[in-house]
Amino acid sequence: MSVSVACKGLAKTYPGGVEAVAPIDLTFQAGKTTALVGPSGCGKSTVLRMIAGLEAPSRGSATIDDAPPAETLRRAGLSIAFQDPSLLPWRSVQQNIELALDLARRPKVASEIDQLIQLVGLGGFADTRPAALSGGMRQRAAIARALSTQPELLLLDEPFGAVDELTRAQLAHDLPGIWEARDTTTLLVTHSVTEAVTLSDRIIVFSARPARVVADIEVDLPRPRPSQIARAPEFTEIADNVFEALSRGVGQTLPNAAQ
């Protein structure tokens, strides 16, 4: 089962007056992967937190299948992996995943947990505690944990920031297959245009703060997408459109645009 997400006039001004998100209207189709890109500090995480029900909107609403996020949370249908992975330090990688499954009241199937740990390239580190892992490895553990409960809605907030290039390419290759097989609705915040084009069906480009939608770009590339696809003209064309929208969103023109 997968879910759709709707943002209607969704806006956030933090106490103290920081306007993080201008009213935005967006719907995310069930089973699709959408990348959210925009300059640092523009309000991307705030949007994601409001969709997750972790932050109250100042105006408007974010709903999951027309219901408040709390309902999806209640049935453990929602997983989040943040840039700063919140793993429990006294639990190993495997135990962190097991806890997520316990909290979500999902069965702990050893072979499935093992498969996920392998998938994110942490084979051999199942019994290791977070303190003994690198930043990138902790992020990968958090991704495995987010996937373990087989969420209907997966929210990823710059989850690959500290992950090395090679592992990142491997994840970019493997993850969409999992999302598709499970029909997961995925929202991915990233500042990498290449990652956005490689992973998503659609890219939303936000302006500088407060976040407004500058562009809504369809990524009509066949799947699976091998890393070489980044050199294809169709890929480059989409990436150029994203860059152009990003520049427009911060009120600049590209140094060598329109050639």
Return residues touching ligand ADP (CB under 6 A).
14, 16, 18, 20, 38, 40-46, 209
Q: Alpha carbon of 39 to those of 9, 21, 191, 249: distances in Å?
A: 21, 13, 7, 8
* Interaction of residue 45 with Mg ion, rule CB under 5 A: yes
Nearer to Mg ion, 7 or 116 (CB): 7
* Phi, psi torsion values for 202, nearest 5 degrees: -160, 145
From CA 43, how far away is CA 86, in angstroms rounded? Answer: 21
Residue 250 near which of ligand ADP, Mg ion, none (CB within 5-8 Å, type-dependent): none
Part in contact with Mg ion (CB under 5 A); list of ranges 44-52, 121-129, 138-146, 230-238 = 44-52
Q: How far is the CB of 40 from Mg ion (least distance, A)?
A: 8
* Interaction of residue 139 with Mg ion, rule CB under 5 A: no
Check if the beta carbon of residue 43 is closer than 8 Å to that of residue 21: yes
Nearer to ligand ADP, 43 or 57 (CB): 43
H helices of 183-232, in order, are: 193-199
For 196, residues 6+ apart whose C-beta sits below 8 A from its C-beta are: 35, 37, 188, 190, 203, 219, 242
Q: How far is the CB of 235 from ligand ADP (least distance, A)?
A: 25
Residue 42 near which of ligand ADP, Mg ion, none (CB within 5-8 Å, type-dependent): ligand ADP
Using CB under 5 A, list all residues that contact Mg ion: 45
